[in-house]
């Protein structure tokens, strides 16, 4: 009975809102962790997608460091095969004494080891990758 009353109040507050989407989203958010939500969205499991796994990514953007030393040493933005966004800092590439655009370019397909899964912010999921040869070869 209480649920029916809540639905009536919701309909009066927002007459054209689809009740299926908001109710199910609220219920799902309360019972699913961010990591579980991420794994469901990319169709992976904790066994196949975790820290230390080697993945393939395609470079979509190369960001040079900002003037004045702010913004780090530069980074590359990539897209994993499962659609997730990945970031690679220049420090996680071989040849760190050169410009990042000399090391990596847009369209390149690279392999990297998952260094961190970014799932703290809801709806801003991603990973950071380490692409140094010595780290890729070690298990």
The full set of domain ranges for the chain reads 2-31, 47-137
- pLDDT tens column, 81-108: 999 999 999 888 887 677 888 888 999 9
Two structure tokens written together for 93: 């590439």
Q: Alpha helix locations (H) across 1-139?
A: 2-13, 19-31, 34-41, 100-103, 133-137
pTM over 0.85: no
> Which residues, at least 6 apart from 121, have a Cβ–Cβ distance to it below 8 Å?
none
CATH number of this structure's domain 47-137: 2.40.50.140
- pLDDT tens column, 31-60: 778 888 888 888 888 999 999 999 999 999
Q: Which pLDDT value is given to residue 49?
A: 92
Whether residue 136 is predicted with pLDDT greater than 70 in this model: the reply is yes
Instruction: Specify whether the CB–CB gap between 101 and 62 falls below 8 A.
Output: yes
């Amino acid at each position: 009975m209480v649920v029916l009353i809540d639905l009536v109040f919701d309909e009066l507050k927002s007459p054209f809102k689809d009740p299926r989407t908001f109710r199910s989203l609220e219920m799902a958010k309360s019972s699913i962790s961010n990591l579980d939500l991420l794994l469901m969205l990319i169709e992976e499991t904790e066994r196949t997608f975790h820290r230390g796994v080697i993945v393939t990514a395609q470079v979509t953007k190369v960001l040079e460091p900002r003037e004045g030393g702010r913004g780090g040493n530069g980074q590359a933005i990539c897209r994993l095969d499962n659609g997730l966004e990945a970031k690679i800092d220049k420090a996680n590439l071989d040849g760190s004494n050169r410009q990042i655009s000399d090391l990596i370019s847009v369209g390149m397909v690279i392999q990297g080891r998952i260094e961190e899964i970014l799932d703290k912010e809801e709806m801003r999921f991603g990973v950071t990758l380490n692409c140094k040869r010595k780290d890729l070869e070690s298990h």
